[in-house]
A and B are shown apart, each in its own frame.
Chain A
């Protein structure tokens, strides 16, 4: 296969005031691409070619190449992770493209995901959201037996459907508003369907949404592009669940206590 690629090249790191920096789309011609190659292997070939010519290779995040680590990204012809649904870029194969195709490759674009270099973006906003409360506050120790609390299969399955999120950021990239609500909704939904997770449901909903807002993501307008782009098929129901949880959490929130605490020992 022969391809024409347009790839975003950006040397300098994005800043708040200058997001695009020196970035621009650069055109590359690539020949001898096998349809059995994965998309990233095609980029490997390009990078080998560039290295031989003495040009700096294109920087992109990747690691497991089996669709589970969530490192790889790439907006391919305007679609997050390319044209095949339920597939990460690393598992997208060149047989999904025509010989002679022209392909536009861009980084995820969101204020909350500054570009580090070329196609590599900083997704630490996701980590900070998780740090704000996407966990069950249990220390390592001796919890009760795993079978002590039965979890209805349907609930466990729903929790799993949300927990399968790989944190790649495609939802943000695909959203017309660069909203992270599918990601955050998945965290809320994962825990709210498990009895262990319901103990902290209110604080979790409040804290996650507050952190999401602080990171500068956009707002969901229920267009569901995120769901179509998600390589793990996370359903938009998780957003509805998050909305519900947040409103509920806000409704039951008590004003800050004026009582002094501590010193009981």
Chain B
């Protein structure tokens, strides 16, 4: 255990922790999107999917706790590393310039924090039903209490909510587009041929994830996906 702690505490150990947790979180985001795409297939499909997840019972809790641990590790490590980074430069330059760092790479902390805030809102909204209890109640009101379709369509019909989600996806896109290529480099993947591919792939995947999520919200708002009857 001390071995693992020592590893985590080292600079590269911290970076690797960020990369591995980031990769796992990315996996979750992909699965999350694929599941939610069932929204397009209509109420039965997505509601059945929700029920299936719910019926996992204890396994669902294992997954949830696992996810939480990964997420907390990602955030805590990020805080540790970025505060160390701040301390490493006690006096700032009076004239600053950037040579080749991308905007996405320079705003990882900011985009990460924004995603964190959004995530809390997202959980309060859909999982705990705190922010808009009226939407959450629609879910409970459905057959066997799994009318996710009704909950989602009711929410995104509200332009403020839909646009908040879309904005969050823009930030997520920034975070992922750098995060993906960054984690490859941190995990030691660098090759004259593959690195440029990884960079492009990273951009593309981030675009697909964020675009897919945003599309779901927008499709409800624009009426492509109709609200529950």
In the complex they form, whether A and B have CB atoms below 8 Å apart is answered with: yes
- 8 Å CB contacts to A: which residues of B156-207? 178, 181-182, 185-190
Let me know if A222 is at the binding interface, CB within 8 A. yes
Q: Which chain B residues lie closer than 8 Å to A239 at the CB level?
A: 185, 190
Q: A218-B84, A221-B105, A228-B100 are in contact. Are A209 and B11 (CB under 8 A)?
A: yes
In the complex, whether A190 has a CB less than 8 A from a CB of chain B is no
Cα–Cα distance between A19 and B88 once the two chains are bound (Å): 11
Interface stretch among B26-34, B91-99, B123-131?
B91-99
B102 CB–A CB distance under 8 Å: yes
CB interface residues, B 55-95, toward A, < 8 Å:
81, 84-85, 87-95
In the bound assembly, the distance between CA atoms of A57 and B182 in angstroms comes to 44
Query: CB distance B12 to A243 under 8 Å?
Result: yes
Residues of B within 8 A of A79 (CB): 97, 99
> Taking CB as reference atom, which chain A residue is nearest B9?
A213
Select one of A104, A210, A237, A250 contacting B190, CB under 8 A: A237
| Inter-chain CB contacts under 8 Å: number | 135
Q: Does B12 contact A242, Cβ atoms closer than 8 Å?
A: yes
Cβ contacts under 8 Å, A104 to chain B: 94-95
Judging by beta carbons under 8 Å apart, are B85 and A221 in contact?
Answer: yes
Chain A 228-249 near chain B by CB (<8 Å), digits 1 or 0:
1100000011011111101100
| CB atoms of B93 and A109 under 8 A apart | yes
> Which stretch, B13-21, B38-46, B137-145, touches the partner chain A?
B13-21
Taking a contact as CB atoms under 8 Å apart, the answer to whether A177 and B89 are in contact is yes
**B50: which A residues are within 8 A, CB to CB?**
none
Assess whether B222 is interfacial by the CB under 8 Å rule: no
> Does chain A have a CB within 8 A of B54?
no
Among A219, A241, A246, A247, residue most surrounded by chain B Cβ atoms (within 10 Å)? A219
**Which B-chain residue is minimally distant from A247 (CB atoms)?**
B16
Helix, strand, loop or mixed for chain A's interface? mixed
Q: Are B182 and A222 in contact (CB under 8 A)?
A: yes
Determine if B229 is an interface residue (Cβ-Cβ < 8 Å).
Answer: no
- Mask: chain B, 97-113; 1 = CB below 8 Å from A; 0 = not: 11111100110100000
Q: How far is the CA of A96 from the CA of B93 in the complex (A)?
A: 21
Do A216 and B100 touch (CB < 8 A)?
Answer: no
Q: How large is the interface on B (under 10, 10 to 19, 20 to 34, 35 or more residues)?
A: 35 or more
Indicate if the CB atoms of A106 and B12 lie closer than 8 Å: no
For B89, list chain A residues within 8 Å (CB): 109-111, 177-178, 218
Q: Looking at the complex, which one of B7, B84, B93 makes contact with A78 (CB distance below 8 Å)?
A: B93
Q: How far is the CB of B98 from chain A (nearest CB, A)?
A: 7
A163 in the interface, Cβ–Cβ < 8 Å? no
Inter-subunit contact A222/B185 (CB<8 Å): yes
- Take A109-B89, A225-B100 as given contacts and tell me if A213 and B10 are in contact as well, using a CB distance cutoff of 8 Å: yes
Bound complex: CA A6 to CA B13 (Å): 40
* Residue in A210, A216, A237, A244 whose beta carbon sits within 8 Å of that of B88 in the complex: A216
Q: In the complex, A243 Cα to B93 Cα: how many Å?
A: 29
| 4 shortest interchain CB distances as A-B pairs | A244-B188, A78-B97, A240-B190, A218-B88
Name 6 A/B residue pairs within 8 A (Cβ), A-sorted. A19-B91, A79-B99, A212-B11, A216-B88, A223-B100, A228-B100
